[in-house]
């Protein structure tokens, strides 16, 4: 790989990554990552999406050199993880899934200590900037024991950034946090991305990837089943979900509607989750009305990542 530019086109490149956890007691060996190829463009706000157990944390921990890969290649900011793990570590900040705040320090001390570990000279430290970024300036000098769970999580984000890494990786940053805090974390993540940091976050919340990320990879059982811009992923379903309410009770979907995949919900709601793109809305309404049914209500819903995810995991 070329190492001639300070600003590589891609923040992270992964080729053929495999992780097999060895057998333990009664558990057989388990392949958590089964040949992953992944490219994270520089500057992106990249979502690694997948259900629990998909292998997201395993991948993040390999990037952070916390878990050793079985095989494959990883480059971060053009540095090869095998050849130059220290350069990889200086290019990346990792916020792990579990809270690991040492409650012996104040927030400020913790950030200073962490900067020291990374060898950042005192003059170059950005402690105040980071405390401000994660909205902890007011709590900078109290023991971290006094911080709420949400504050501790924000402090972990700051801690991962003391050495100004160009790539910040957050493993489930909003798992288990309430809606208000989730939105404020999203805001902070956006701000960091706008200021030039490439962000990779894992989530099992589809709506989080939908709201926040510009590029999305979907991981399922250790395999990558999709990776594209959010826009392109949503385009793969050129349809909207449609619900039509009729004025009579039905016991079954009328025969002329069955081939198109209509489903009866309750007795009066007909839903179509994948509208065949060759059918116009007019044709669809007519095909309902020819059964002598009057249409009382029509609701259409834009497709979202959840639809894409369901479709892809179904066909995988
Ligand atoms: N240290 C480990 N030893 C053995 N198996 C593990 C270990 N860590 C994770 N796994 C298994 O690997 C799979 C992927 O786990 P993980 O990477 O934590 O998934 P995710 O973060 O997507 O929920 C799961 O089946 C999990 O049980
Ligand atoms: Mg995880």
Residue 221 and residue 249 in one domain? no
pTM of structure: 0.79
Query: Ligand 1 centroid vs 55 CA: distance in angstroms?
Result: 6
**pLDDT at 14 (0 to 100):** 98
pLDDT digits (tens, 9 = 90+) for 6-34: 789 999 999 999 999 999 888 899 999 99
Average pLDDT, integer, range 237-261: 86
Ligand 1 pocket: which of 21, 169, 217, 222 to mutate (most atoms within 8 A of CB):
21
Q: How confident is the model at residue 234 (pLDDT cuts 50, 70, 90)?
A: confident
Ligand 1 near 185 CB (within 6 A): no
Residue 3 scores a pLDDT above 90: no
How many residues would you count in the chain?
Answer: 316
Q: Which atom of ligand 1 is nearest to the CA of 61?
A: 17
Ligand 1 near 54 CB (within 6 A): yes
Quick check: is 218 in a domain? yes
Residue 212 and residue 311 in one domain? no
Query: Could you say which of 205, 233, 261 is where a domain stops?
Result: 233
Query: Ligand 1 centroid vs 91 CA: distance in angstroms?
Result: 25
Residue 194 and residue 310 in one domain? no
Residue nearest to atom 7 of ligand 1 (CA): 21
Query: What's 79's domain CATH number?
Result: 3.40.50.300
Quick check: is 114 in a domain? no
Residue 169 and residue 311 in one domain? no
How many domains, in total, are found in the chain?
2
Which is higher by pLDDT, 99 or 118?
Answer: 118
Chain centroid to Cα 221, Å, comes to: 16
Ligand located closest to 67 CA: 1
Q: How confident is the model at residue 219 (pLDDT cuts 50, 70, 90)?
A: very high
Ligand 1 near 21 CB (within 6 A): yes
Q: Which atom of ligand 1 is nearest to the CA of 59?
A: 17
Quick check: is 122 in a domain? no
Query: Ligand 1 centroid vs 227 CA: distance in angstroms?
Result: 21
Query: What's 241's domain CATH number?
Result: 3.30.70
pLDDT digits (tens, 9 = 90+) for 150-207: 888 889 999 999 999 999 999 998 887 788 888 888 998 999 999 999 999 999 888 8
Quick check: is 16 in a domain? yes
Residue 255 scores a pLDDT above 80: yes
Residue 208 and residue 80 in one domain? yes
Residue 19 and residue 76 in one domain? yes
Quick check: is 296 in a domain? yes
Q: How confident is the model at residue 99 (pLDDT cuts 50, 70, 90)?
A: confident
Q: Which atom of ligand 1 is nearest to the CA of 51?
A: 22
Q: Which atom of ligand 1 is nearest to the CA of 54?
A: 22
Mean pLDDT score across all residues of the chain? 89
**pLDDT at 201 (0 to 100):** 96
CA distance 102 to 74: 30
Quick check: is 308 in a domain? yes
Query: Could you say which of 195, 216, 233 is where a domain stops?
Result: 233
Residue 67 and residue 189 in one domain? yes
Quick check: is 245 in a domain? yes
CA distance 45 to 199: 5
Query: Ligand 1 centroid vs 254 CA: distance in angstroms?
Result: 46
Query: Could you say which of 217, 233, 249 is where a domain stops?
Result: 233
CA distance 33 to 36: 7
**pLDDT at 260 (0 to 100):** 83
pLDDT digits (tens, 9 = 90+) for 48-82: 998 889 999 999 999 998 999 999 999 999 999 99
**pLDDT at 238 (0 to 100):** 60
Residue 188 and residue 310 in one domain? no
Quick check: is 170 in a domain? yes
Domain around 180? 10-98+165-233
Residue 179 and residue 298 in one domain? no
Q: How confident is the model at residue 100 (pLDDT cuts 50, 70, 90)?
A: confident
DSSP string across 189-207: HHHHHHTT-EEEEEES-HH
Ligand located closest to 59 CA: 1
Is residue 175 within 8 Å of 144, Cβ to Cβ? no
Share of the chain above pLDDT 90, in %: 62
Highest mean pLDDT among 82-86, 282-286, 300-304, 310-314: 82-86
Residue 306 and residue 265 in one domain? yes
Query: Ligand 1 centroid vs 56 CA: distance in angstroms?
Result: 8
Residue 200 and residue 246 in one domain? no
Residue 192 and residue 272 in one domain? no
Query: Ligand 1 centroid vs 51 CA: distance in angstroms?
Result: 11
**pLDDT at 294 (0 to 100):** 92
């Amino acid at each position: 790989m070329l190492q001639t530019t300070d600003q590589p086109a891609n923040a992270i490149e992964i080729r053929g990554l495999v992780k097999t956890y060895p057998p333990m007691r009664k558990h057989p060996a388990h392949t958590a990552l089964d040949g992953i190829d992944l490219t994270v463009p520089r500057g992106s706000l990249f979502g690694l999406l997948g259900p629990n157990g998909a292998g997201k944390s395993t991948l993040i921990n390999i990037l952070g050199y916390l878990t050793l890969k079985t095989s494959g290649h990883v480059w971060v900011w053009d540095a090869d993880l095998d050849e130059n793990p220290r350069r990889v570590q200086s290019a990346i900040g990792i916020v792990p899934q579990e809270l690991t705040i040492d409650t012996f320090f104040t927030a400020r001390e913790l950030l200073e200590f962490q900067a020291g570990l990374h060898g950042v000279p005192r003059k170059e430290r950005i402690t105040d900037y980071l405390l401000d970024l994660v909205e902890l300036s007011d709590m900078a000098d109290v023991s971290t024991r006094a911080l709420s769970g949400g504050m501790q999580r924000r402090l972990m984000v700051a801690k991962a950034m003391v050495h100004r890494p160009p790539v910040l990786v957050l493993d489930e940053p909003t798992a288990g946090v309430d809606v208000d805090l989730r939105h404020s974390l999203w805001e902070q993540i956006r701000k960091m991305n706008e200021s030039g940091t490439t962000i990779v976050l894992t989530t099992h919340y589809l709506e989080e990837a939908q709201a926040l990320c510009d590029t999305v990879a979907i991981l399922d059982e250790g395999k990558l089943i999709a990776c594209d811009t959010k826009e392109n992923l949503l385009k793969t379903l050129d349809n909207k979900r449609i619900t039509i309410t009729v004025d009579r009770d039905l016991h079954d979907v009328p025969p002329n509607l069955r081939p198109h995949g209509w489903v009866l919900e309750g007795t009066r709601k007909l839903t179509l989750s994948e509208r065949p793109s060759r059918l116009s809305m007019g044709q669809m309404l007519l095909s309902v009305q020819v059964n002598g049914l009057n249409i009382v209500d029509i609701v259409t819903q834009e497709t979202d990542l959840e639809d894409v995810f369901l479709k892809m995991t179904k066909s995988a």
